[in-house]
Copies of this chain bind each other. A is one copy, B any other.
C-alpha cells in the first residue's frame, strides 16, 4: 500500500465521519500514519483531497444504482433485485449515504451542478418508463412512477442516514441494527409489491 493510497484511505475515514468542515488535515495524516506535509505534496489542498474522496464515493453509488436501473428484468423482479443489491451496498458502506447527502446540502448549488456535469448522473429513467408501461397496460395499480422510485430509494437509504437517531432511541447496537436492515429487504419488497398490485 503506497503513500497515496494510505492518504486516500485515511481521508475516506475522516471525511465521512466528520464531514468536510470539521475534518482536520492533521487527523488525516495521523490516521494514515504519515506526515502532514505529504498531504499537500500529493493533493495540493484540503479541497482537492476532499473532491477525490467524494467523487469516488458518489461515483461508486451512482454506478451501482444505474446498473440495476438499466438491467433487463420484469418489473417485480427488478424491484426485488434493486432492493436486494442496493441494501447490500449500503450494508457494506453504511456511512456513505449520510456523507454524500450532508455534503451536497452544505456545499451549495454550484458544487452539485458541477458534479452533475462532469460525473455520470443517476439515471432512473429506464425503471420509471418500465413502471409507466405496466400502469398503461393495466398490469399494476396506477401510481406515479417517479414517486414510486423515490419511495424505494427512501425506504432503503433513510434508515442508514438516520442511524444514530434510531440506534439510540431503539437502544440497539451496530450488529443488531445491521440485522434489522438485512430483514428489512423482504419487508420493503413485500410492502411495495402488495402496494402496487391491482
Contact = CB atoms under 8 A, between A and B. Distances in A.
Interface string A139-173: 00101101110110111011101111111111000
Contacts of A188: 147, 151
A101 B104 contact: no
A104 B102 CA distance: 11
Interface residues of A, number: 55
A169 B106 contact: no
B102 A169 contact: no
A2 interface: no
A190 B196 CA distance: 9
Contacts of A98: 101-102, 105
Contact of A151 (B102, B148, B155, B162): B155
Interface stretch (A5-13, A18-26, A29-37, A39-47): A18-26
A86 to B, nearest CB: 13
A86 B151 CA distance: 16
Contact of A106 (B18, B148, B195): B18
5 contacts: A98-B102, A101-B161, A104-B165, A147-B183, A148-B191
Given A18-B21, A98-B101, A101-B165, 13 more contacts: A18-B106, A22-B106, A102-B105, A104-B165, A143-B190, A143-B191, A146-B180, A147-B187, A151-B187, A154-B159, A155-B155, A157-B158, A194-B194
